[in-house]
Amino acid sequence: MRKIWVTIGSMVMLAAALFIYDLSLEPNTAGTLTLTLSEAGVLVQEADHAFTEDDTLYTLLERHYDIECADASYAPSEACEPLSLSGVEGRILMHVNELETDWVTSYIEISVNGNKANYGIDQLPLKDGDIIDLNAVSLDE
């Protein structure tokens, strides 16, 4: 009986902790942002996109670009399913149009207004007028 209560207690604590984490994330505002794609810091594409409060960077990318995200084995997948069953979605972006990374020797770095982003494509708060850069970085260089 004690084990059951301890298990329920630990699951409730996990749910509460994840809920508080979710609350700590900044909410989105609607507007327009500029999205740039770069390869090793060299600009390859630039476009403006309107977004709503319900959008995330992921939904914007999915709507306007050809993207692939990591699956559970870190292989690129068009399904782009969130890598979590807990409510905290954590997609890892691997391909965006011509940008291609493999997660092992290269990755896509996200910057917002020139600063490295604190969150990934599912949690990053979007603000009107933001300039978001997706830069394919190679670790071999």
Partner 1 sequence: MHVKKMAMMAILTTLLLIQEQALSFIPNVQFSTLLILLFASTFKLRDSLLMLFVYVVLDSLYMGALNPFYMVPMYLGWATLPVLYHTLIKKHENIYLMATLGLVGGFIYGVIFMPFAVLQTGVDPRIYLMADLPFQLIMATSNFITILWLYTPLKKIYGAMIPKEATQ
Selected binder of partner 1 within 34, 36, 88, 131 (CB under 8 A): 88
Nearer to partner 1, 48 or 115 (CB): 115
The reply to whether 138 sits near partner 1 by the rule CB under 8 A is: no
Tokens of 66: 């050809």
Nearer to partner 1, 52 or 84 (CB): 84
Determine contact, residues 134/36, Cβ cutoff 8 Å.
yes
The reply to whether 90 sits near partner 1 by the rule CB under 8 A is: yes
Fill in the amino acid letter for 48.
D
Selected binder of partner 1 within 97, 119, 127, 131 (CB under 8 A): 119
Nearer to partner 1, 4 or 48 (CB): 4
* CA gap 120, 103 in Å, rounded: 14
The reply to whether 14 sits near partner 1 by the rule CB under 8 A is: yes
Pairing relation of β-strands 93-96 and 67-70?
antiparallel
Per 3-state DSSP, what percentage of the chain is helix, strand, and coil (rounded to 5)? 20, 35, 45
Segment 34-73, which members bind partner 1 (CB under 8 A)? 72-73
Tokens of 11: 């699951």
Size of the site for partner 1 (CB under 8 A): 29
The reply to whether 3 sits near partner 1 by the rule CB under 8 A is: yes
